[in-house]
Structure 1
């Protein structure tokens, strides 16, 4: 494979910037252009629901790199200009400013859009959290609000509820699951997280769906649930998930199915790759496609994409990993817990507030490891997952 004479990266988040940095570290000296929809410097998103919302970090601290480091990358940054269309055949991107940018290799790293529930937008006091600007707006209202309702009990919703509660606000967390983050943690550990939130004063409304908002003079005053219960609210944060930012790729010729569909090399078409939250890739060891929404994946997948752009031809077969910090507890998960997996505590104990749990499939094989305030020990158990997530050496490209 010939080294491309130019690379165009669409998306200025962690994945997009990591592609650029990895290419430069590997000695690539040709032209690189990076397009970003937001006007500011590339920044990290995990702190938005925690440190930024709480006010312990300012916006500048979220920046992924300093201005000097970005300048040293010798890359053209086209910021504040949204990608509108891709011609996959010519590898050309058209932007909102009317520019047409092309390259021999294109990387799609546009991330996610926050999903919005019908009827939960266009009202004062109702927000989603995806950007720095979103976090600033929510924080400003949190400082004045007395009663907050978080709609959505996944990772983001649980983190927002935890942060708001630590700020002294009356918080209700509502969602369709029996316990917060049950889809990510399984029933047993999610029950422990529910107990943690309850102990800190978060009001949980599990197994519920929101029906509508109540407003006065255009501002939210309450959330009404399908069952009929009304929850008073000065501020509502909708955290009901997200969708891959692929709308601009309609008509491009790429296969789009809950993300940009790629092979095991993260290649969506000849000379076109995807990385980060938007990429749905074939995991050779699992024999199926995955799309992972977490910070670690964004960086690791970007590094793999850079390597494959330069001809290394390597499959991407990670052990999935994510973490969350809530109410003084650090939770780390390696692998993919399944609904039918049984959970065994292998170090520490739940009563101690520090433990490592192993998830076992029906055949007794480990599928995931979780650490609850035991990060070092959890990582030590990660090797038990290698057999499940590592492809055979002779696996052929797909």
Structure 2
């Protein structure tokens, strides 16, 4: 097994991610338990996309080739089964052992992933060797700086996965620092600490090359440290006064800074492709998401269930999801497909449906929160309507995205 096998498994991770995305949106529309939705979103959709592209991108960004080429094939069934088990566990009627099996499989798959990358990067752990060509020598300082944060990504993944296992598997010792993390804090570690930080680190290398432009170095210097520290402070201090405010501020700084950096790249570039528009909508969603979260931390807005859900979806479906979709459309252009609907127009429709759906949900949540008590009943009905419309729109976008990705993979 060599590079071709790694490429095939990378596609399988991305394909599984797309299927988890559809399952998440269907579950959201059906109104199933929030823990089910978070498991499908974070463990299923986001992190399987992270795994797939990390296997193909991270070694090359450290001027290496994946040392353990069989690792993706061992890893994939473990985390896929683990994500399914974690999503099924909260459902009524599901045996108690399902969650434990899911958590164990998830942790085992993550261990394979981290071991494979750690062994590959063992003689270049900070990424000083970047694989940057002489033609792009001016990019090396940013490339080196971005590489240095990849080990932090892996650390967050290990801590979040350990906390997941400790929550389900009794024999796993719950360290004092992890025992009180709970479901929400663990999700923040994995979504913000693993996925978002990897988006920042890889994004500062990937998107400038896609767009043939340069990121403002001042923003790179701010975003990566804030994105590395913010998730830890946020997870530890969630709803804990000053720590909560500090963590929310750091994460907002990272996301807003990354959004500004991408906007600068977009303006500087002459290239206009559907994937680039997807990322643009994604970073805009991320800005809205962190602003909602910051309002919770600063006490400006009460964290109602509708707004908390809007915050989650803006960040995970909007920022992470549309950024993943944009990169996916760039790596696997829909136009290479010969099946019906394989076009940039369909891809743009998928992005638009998700973006409009998120705005509808946010609008409904804000209307409910800002309405006076006398209008509470009316506002509640309006919120439910807008949420239903928004989630139906997002499901439509997810179906189009999955159809394009799976169709392209089936033909290649």
Same fold, judged at TM 0.5 (above): no
Larger relative helix fraction: 2
Greater RCO (Cα-Cα under 8 Å, separation 6 or more): 1
Q: Normalising to structure 2: TM-score of the pair?
A: 0.29
Q: Which has the larger radius of gyration?
A: 1
